[in-house]
A and B are shown apart, each in its own frame.
Chain A
Amino acid sequence: GAGVSQSPSNKVTEKGKDVELRCDPISGHTALYWYRQSLGQGLEFLIYFQGNSAPDKSGLPSDRFSAERTGGSVSTLTIQRTQQEDSAVYLCASSRTSGGYNEQFFGPGTRLTVL
């Protein structure tokens, strides 16, 4: 595809429900990242995948958050038992490779609202 795609664009859920957010990276990009951005806050790193290596999960805020990447391409971020503080825009980015010189390109994001 031409760019990173994410779905859904908006998700409204009730507190305690599970949600799944999807990211489809740019074709040929081996690295995939998840970030979240809360209102008026900066981007917060969540998790990073590089090829078939074990993901870097150091940014996940709690064990309610998990992510997987199938076939080195599409990724799903799952939030279990959602809380109101999970409300944010969840952004996915991909880069051609990892390493220091990695230009990351963002998708349009999923706006999650937990009622």
Chain B
Amino acid sequence: QKEVEQNSGPLSVPEGAIASLNCTYSDRGSQSFFWYRQYSGKSPELIMSIYSNGDKEDGRFTAQLNKASQYVSLLIRDSQPSDSATYLCAVSGYSTLTFGKGTMLLVSP
């Protein structure tokens, strides 16, 4: 059974701070790793994908992957109240995605 684990939170950070979200996964054969943002009452929105070890930066977002440790993280720099949402980690083997239950992020003004 493939598992993806995330701390449910909430993770509370002040505006302007760095938010660090973490995820571990069980299947060593996983190839692709994704972060989705889900606002309350809305569907998940893809914000980052990462396929190889190391860091990938896109604007205020940085995804980090360590396959040896089976660990993925998402850093959000200069956090804004509009970043307040649930962040879902998703891991893909060949085709389907396995999702974590998400970490709720609260950014206070």
Residues of A within 8 A of B (CB): 31, 33, 41-43, 45, 48, 50, 56, 59, 89, 91, 98-109
User: A43 and B92 in contact (CB under 8 A), knowing A100-B32, A101-B31, A103-B34?
Assistant: no
User: A100 and B93 in contact (CB under 8 A), knowing A105-B46, A107-B43, A109-B43?
Assistant: yes
Shortest CB distance A32–B (Å): 11
A104 touches B93 (CB 8 A): no
User: A99 and B94 in contact (CB under 8 A), knowing A105-B46, A106-B45, A109-B43?
Assistant: yes
A51 to B43, alpha carbons, bound, how many Å?
24
B101 at the interface (CB under 8 A from A): yes
Give the residues in chain B near A56, CB-CB below 8 Å: 95-96
A45 to B99, alpha carbons, bound, how many Å?
9
8 Å CB contact of A45 from B36, B42, B97:
B97
8 Å CB contact of A41 from B45, B46, B93, B101:
B101
Interface centre among B32, B43, B88, B100 (most CB of A within 10 A): B43
A104 touches B51 (CB 8 A): no
B49 touches A48 (CB 8 A): no
A108 to B38, alpha carbons, bound, how many Å?
11
A109 to B96, alpha carbons, bound, how many Å?
18
Shortest CB distance B9–A (Å): 13
User: A104 and B101 in contact (CB under 8 A), knowing A43-B88, A45-B96, A98-B95?
Assistant: no
29 of the cross-chain contacts (CB-CB < 8 Å) are A31-B95, A33-B96, A33-B97, A41-B101, A42-B88, A42-B100, A43-B44, A43-B88, A43-B99, A45-B97, A56-B95, A89-B43, A98-B94, A100-B31, A100-B32, A100-B92, A100-B94, A100-B95, A101-B49, A102-B92, A102-B95, A103-B46, A104-B46, A104-B97, A106-B44, A106-B46, A107-B43, A108-B42, A108-B43
B108 at the interface (CB under 8 A from A): no
Give the residues in chain A near B88, CB-CB below 8 Å: 42-43
A108 to B90, alpha carbons, bound, how many Å?
18
A78 to B36, alpha carbons, bound, how many Å?
27
